[in-house]
């Protein structure tokens, strides 16, 4: 499968009467975007705002971050099974608006949506502080259930991203990158001497708003399966998560998964990037055993030499991570696992809830319990009402002087377990 990804760099966002992209500036019609969001009767009102890198702005509580894209040539459309009709994506030509994102915000769970600071020490922990962000703050109608509100905001964010992506359909990309994988036998014949490597991506799917969707299907309802890595670039995997902000994968991360992009950089040079295997994270032991069994079985059937395994979340999913690692290693396939740590504020506690000697090659995204003091910002997009109850905070987090003392767990993307961030360990 071959995909041409054309990147269009957005240098600035501003509001105007007409939505358009000219000379790297995205102009957004507030009226048009609000009309899209308010199509859902569960959303009572919506406010739009713009947050730019370096501004004294705090966005919270953050639900999702989404990169606008448009399918220019090839099968299907962006976010298949969610916005576009169900069709296999990942081939043809797609354009992406780089340097910007749609950020959805507003209380859904309250204690597990995150913080994005556009300047100051907090900005150094989140990659989304480097983007020009169109922030969509939604208010639900009274009495709506949490899961209905979450879905309404999730779909609204995707619709806005697709609307903005369409503005680029007739533009010429600033750069184009080509990503291509081959059939199993074709790849073996093309790269007979290169090690066969795959990416095993664990998707958060524990339920109760801990959800990820694949072609519109809740991942908890699936078995481990194979995908072409280019499918995610067309939005085949999207976030529905309200898990801890630091290590959740917003939709932006799925679209730009750095493990996939880094493996493509070595594809045909030092490795044969065979495929992407997706598997879920479960609550019950039998489900964990079933999914990890299937993942290991596929690694063996594909005659893989090595895999990279990334986790999403912490605690309970640590068990799924170690199960996958142990069983894949037992099949003779080498593993490298990517996780983050909850090692206590002093860094001296056990980092993962599970461990095994087979997990001898580990990449960490950092210690989520590390404490940081965030300075007061001149402007807050959203509300500070939930800062004291957010995961990583406490009843004294929001101080009288406007500063906030929290663990970096509260910062969106701070310890991301695909490596989409800035922290690691030496």
- Residues noted as catalytic: 242
Task: Name the β-bridge partners of 84.
Answer: 80
CA-based nearest residue to 139, from 405, 385, 319, 397: 385
How many residues are recorded in the chain? 426
Q: Which two tokens stand for residue 353?
A: 């809830």
Please tell me whether residue 220 adopts helix, strand or coil conformation: helix
CB 418 within 8 A of CB 310: yes
CB atoms within 10 A of CB 284: 8
* Structural element, H or E, at residue 339: strand 334-341
CB 13 within 8 A of CB 33: no
CB 99 within 8 A of CB 252: no
Render 361-384 in DSSP notation, one character per residue.
SEEEEEETT-EEEEPPPSEEEE-S
CB atoms within 10 A of CB 186: 10
CA-based nearest residue to 165, from 134, 119, 209, 127: 134
Task: Name the β-bridge partners of 16.
Answer: 29
Task: Name the β-bridge partners of 124.
Answer: none
Task: Tell how many helices (H) and how many strands (E) occur in the chain.
Answer: 7, 24
């Amino acid at each position: 499968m071959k995909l041409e990804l054309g990147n269009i760099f957005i240098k600035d966002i501003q509001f105007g009467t007409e939505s358009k992209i000219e000379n790297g500036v995205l102009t957004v019609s507030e009226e048009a975007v609000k009309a899209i969001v308010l199509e859902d009767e569960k959303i009572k009102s919506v406010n739009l705002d713009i947050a730019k890198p370096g501004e004294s702005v705090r966005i919270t509580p953050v639900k999702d971050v989404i990169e606008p894209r448009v399918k220019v040539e090839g099968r299907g459309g962006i976010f298949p099974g969610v916005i576009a009709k169900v069709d296999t994506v990942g081939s043809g030509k797609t354009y992406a608006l780089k340097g910007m994102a749609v950020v959805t915000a507003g209380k859904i769970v309250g204690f597990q949506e995150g913080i994005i600071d556009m300047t100051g020490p907090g900005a150094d922990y989140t990659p989304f502080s480097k983007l020009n962000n169109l922030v969509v703050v939604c208010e639900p109608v009274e009495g709506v259930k949490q899961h209905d509100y979450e879905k309404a905001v999730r779909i609204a964010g995707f619709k806005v991203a697709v609307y903005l992506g369409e503005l680029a359909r007739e533009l010429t990309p600033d750069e184009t990158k080509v990503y291509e994988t081959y059939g199993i036998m074709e790849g073996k014949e093309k790269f007979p001497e290169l090690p066969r490597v795959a990416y095993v991506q664990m998707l958060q799917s524990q339920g109760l708003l801990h959800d990820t969707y694949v072609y519109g299907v809740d991942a908890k309802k699936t078995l481990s399966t194979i995908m072409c890595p280019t499918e995610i670039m067309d939005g085949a995997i999207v976030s529905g998560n309200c898990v801890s902000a630091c290590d959740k994968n917003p939709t932006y991360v799925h679209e730009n998964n750095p493990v996939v992009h880094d493996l493509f950089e070595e594809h045909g040079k030092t490795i044969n990037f065979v495929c992407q295997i997706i598997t879920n994270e479960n609550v019950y032991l039998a489900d964990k055993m079933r999914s990890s069994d299937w993942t290991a079985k596929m690694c063996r059937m594909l005659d893989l030499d090595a895999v990279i395994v990334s986790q999403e979340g912490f605690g309970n999913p640590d068990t799924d991570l170690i199960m996958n690692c142990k069983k894949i290693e037992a099949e003779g396939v080498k593993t490298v696992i990517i996780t983050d740590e909850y090692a206590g504020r002093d860094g001296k506690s056990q980092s993962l809830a599970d461990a095994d000697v087979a997990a001898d090659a580990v990449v960490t995204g950092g210690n989520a319990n590390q404490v940081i003091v965030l300075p007061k910002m001149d402007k807050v997009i959203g509300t500070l009402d939930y800062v004291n109850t957010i995961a990583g905070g406490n009843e004294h987090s929001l101080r009288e002087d406007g500063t906030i003392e929290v663990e970096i767990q509260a910062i969106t993307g701070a310890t991301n377990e695909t490596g989409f961030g800035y922290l690691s360990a030496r």
